[in-house]
Amino acid sequence: MPELPEVETVVRGLRGPLVGRTFTKVQVL
């Protein structure tokens, strides 16, 4: 995979909410 700053930014933007949701689910359980 080519390393593109734009793609990395998008991935980080999507990772934030996903990690937050997973952490919240773990706390609820």
Residue in the structure block whose two tokens are 């995979």:
1
pLDDT digits (tens, 9 = 90+) for 1-29: 567 788 888 888 888 888 888 888 887 77
- Measured CA to CA, the distance from residue 1 to residue 29 in angstroms comes to 36
The reported pLDDT for the residue numbered 13 is 85
**DSSP one-letter code for 27:** H
The reported pLDDT for the residue numbered 2 is 64
Token pair listed for 15: 């990772």
**DSSP one-letter code for 16:** H
Dihedral sign from CA coordinates of 5, 11, 17, 23: negative
